[in-house]
Amino acid sequence: MKPGLLDNRDFLAGLLFVAFGAGGFWVALSYPFGSVQQMGPGFFPRALGAILVGFGLVTMVRGLRSGVRVEGAWGWFPLAMLTVAIVAFGYLMEHVGLIPSLVVLVVASAYAGKEFRGLEVAILAAVMCAMAAGIFIWGLGLPYPLFAFEFGR
């Protein structure tokens, strides 16, 4: 049986290509195109955008024909959790210093995994903090405070 559109691997890939290509093309419309002899900054992105749309359409059609399913289930939860962990780390680094940022990163990312054991994660966070402080701050002399509470900056 053929999969539905939202489960069709190549159809989705093609759709993604078309979206990227069209988006790139559209944004590049505001850059001067120039001519083939004197290419402007808009020439390459528009050409690439158009080519990508073409590849995308081919991939979509092929997907409809072959009907290969996406393999395995989508891991939305770990994906979202890890993304949140990484983004939080970046934000916190600029405001509260290295140690709190690392703790949040380790705990939040560990939560994305299947087995979350409180004690283990606490030890892991402590070890990572010590390692990171040792390597990056003491060893490499990177200018990050361990703790800093500067939300106003």
Q: Is 74 helix (H, G, I), strand (E, B) or coil?
A: coil
Q: How far is the CB of 51 from other proteins (least distance, A)?
A: 6
Q: How far is the CB of 56 from other proteins (least distance, A)?
A: 7
Q: How far is the CB of 90 from other proteins (least distance, A)?
A: 3
Identify the residue whose tokens are 């892991």: 124
**Are 58 and 67 within 8 A, CB to CB?**
no
**Are 104 and 92 within 8 A, CB to CB?**
yes
The number of helices, as runs of H, and strands, as runs of E, in the chain is 5, 0
Q: How far is the CB of 149 from other proteins (least distance, A)?
A: 14
- Compare residues 1 and 39 and give the one whose CB is closer to other proteins: 39
- Compare residues 1 and 37 and give the one whose CB is closer to other proteins: 37
- Compare residues 1 and 76 and give the one whose CB is closer to other proteins: 76
Q: Which residues of 54-65 are buried (b: 16+ CB within 10 A; e: fewer)?
A: eebeebbeebee
- Compare residues 21 and 100 and give the one whose CB is closer to other proteins: 21
In the chain, what is the greatest distance between 2 CA atoms, to the nearest angstrom? 66
Q: How far is the CB of 83 from other proteins (least distance, A)?
A: 5
- Compare residues 4 and 41 and give the one whose CB is closer to other proteins: 41
Angle made by CA atoms 28, 31, 32, in degrees to the nearest 5: 130
